[in-house]
């Protein structure tokens, strides 16, 4: 089952449940105030089934706009969880190569802060490339949607936009390489009621188009993530409280070739089987 936040033609933000490929149920009309409320439910799938059985109003998907599927959750990101990410980063920086090598196999994963909810771009919105960086890439990632107890309530798509030259120059610059205007996009759906084993069969693919021509395409499997999802979530929640829940990106396994950098106007399309497609246009920030 898939839930979302969406904006109506009248400009109201509402919570939706996918009815079929073209229609959503309006859960706001059933008294669901926010997506975070749903994610706290003990048996979310049963609750959604009960809601779907009621004659709720619907909206055609073609008449609404997706919002980012977060309202108050902080967004965090795990890194170097795929072998591909480790080797790409070791090549990008002699200076930090040992750190990437070590964290890949260390007990404690790399986890960093990525975004406040209100700064996240929705599908159809912008993703940024820094004007003081010369090597910018998208990072297509599976995102865990966690409730306030740290339990995985669902899964969405994340784009962890990154400036590789800034990151490669010195690891202490990581927050600047990772956190800036429009550096994070999420959505469109949160898929619920699936197990980690099922999700590990999903594929993550990315296509970047420039003036309507493909300039990069790549693909990986969620099965390539080295760590268990619960392990990543439990480290995020160690000595931390997230009263509204949190989103945790799980790292990238697709890295464009070293000569590739994003340009303003490029369209980044990330698809995860089981969730949908997150599409954003690159803007210079």
Q: Which residues bind ligand DO4 (CB under 6 A)?
A: 77, 79-80, 85, 89, 110, 139, 160, 174, 251-252
What's the closest the beta carbon of residue 24 comes to Mg ion, in angstroms? 30
Nearer to Mg ion, 140 or 276 (CB): 140
Nearer to ligand DO4, 93 or 147 (CB): 93
Instruction: Enumerate residues 236-265 that contact Mg ion by CB under 5 A.
Output: 252
Angle of helix 97-105 relative to helix 83-92, nearest 10 degrees, comes to: 160
Specify the long-range contacts of residues 8-11, CB closer than 8 Å, at least 24 apart: 8/59, 8/63, 8/64, 9/63, 9/64
Q: In angstroms, rounded to a whole number, what is the distance separating the alpha carbons of residues 272 and 65?
A: 20
Instruction: Enumerate residues 132-151 that contact Mg ion by CB under 5 A.
Output: 139
DSSP H helices in the chain: 35-39, 44-53, 83-92, 97-105, 164-169, 174-178, 196-199, 229-236
Q: Which does 109 bind (CB under 5 to 8 A by kind): ligand DO4, Mg ion, none?
A: none
- Give the residue closest to ligand DO4 by C-beta: 79
CB 143 within 8 A of CB 156: yes
Q: Which two tokens stand for residue 139?
A: 């990072």
Q: In angstroms, rounded to a whole number, what is the distance separating the alpha carbons of residues 185 and 201?
A: 23
Nearer to Mg ion, 16 or 251 (CB): 251
Q: Does 160 help bind Mg ion (rule: CB under 5 A)?
A: yes
CB 127 within 8 A of CB 187: no
What's the closest the beta carbon of residue 24 comes to ligand DO4, in angstroms? 31
Q: Does 110 help bind Mg ion (rule: CB under 5 A)?
A: no
What's the closest the beta carbon of residue 88 comes to ligand DO4, in angstroms? 8
Q: Which does 110 bind (CB under 5 to 8 A by kind): ligand DO4, Mg ion, none?
A: ligand DO4
Q: Which does 85 bind (CB under 5 to 8 A by kind): ligand DO4, Mg ion, none?
A: ligand DO4
C-alpha dihedral (137, 122, 250, 46), degrees to nearest 10: -160
Which residues form the interface with Mg ion (CB under 5 A)? 139, 160, 252
């Amino acid at each position: 089952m898939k839930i979302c936040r969406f904006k109506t033609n009248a400009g109201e933000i509402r919570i939706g449940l996918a009815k079929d490929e073209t229609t959503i149920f309006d859960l706001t009309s059933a008294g669901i105030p926010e997506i975070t409320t749903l994610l706290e439910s003990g048996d979310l799938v049963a609750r959604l089934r009960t809601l779907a059985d009621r004659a709720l109003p619907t909206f055609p998907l073609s008449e609404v706009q997706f919002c980012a599927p977060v309202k108050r959750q902080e967004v965090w990101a795990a890194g170097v969880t795929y072998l591909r990410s480790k080797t790409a980063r070791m090549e990008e920086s002699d200076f930090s190569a040992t750190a990437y090598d070590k964290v890949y196999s260390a007990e404690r994963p790399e986890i960093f802060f990525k975004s406040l909810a209100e700064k996240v771009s929705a599908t159809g919105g912008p993703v940024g490339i820094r004007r003081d960086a010369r090597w910018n890439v998208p990072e297509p990632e599976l995102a865990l949607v966690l409730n306030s107890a740290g339990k995985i309530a669902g899964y969405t798509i994340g784009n962890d936009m990154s400036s590789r030259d800034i990151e490669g120059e010195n690891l202490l610059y990581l927050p600047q390489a990772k956190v800036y205007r429009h550096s994070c996009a999420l959505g469109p759906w949160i898929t619920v009621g699936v197990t980690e084993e099922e999700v590990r069969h999903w594929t993550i693919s990315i296509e970047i188009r420039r003036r309507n021509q493909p300039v990069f395409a790549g693909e990986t499997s969620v099965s390539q993530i080295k760590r268990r999802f619960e392990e990543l979530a439990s480290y995020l929640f160690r000595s931390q409280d997230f009263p509204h829940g949190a989103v945790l990106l799980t790292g990238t396994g697709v890295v464009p070739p070293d000569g590739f950098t994003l340009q303003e106007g490029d369209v980044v399309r990330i698809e995860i089987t089981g969730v949908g497609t997150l599409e954003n246009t690159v803007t210079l920030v």
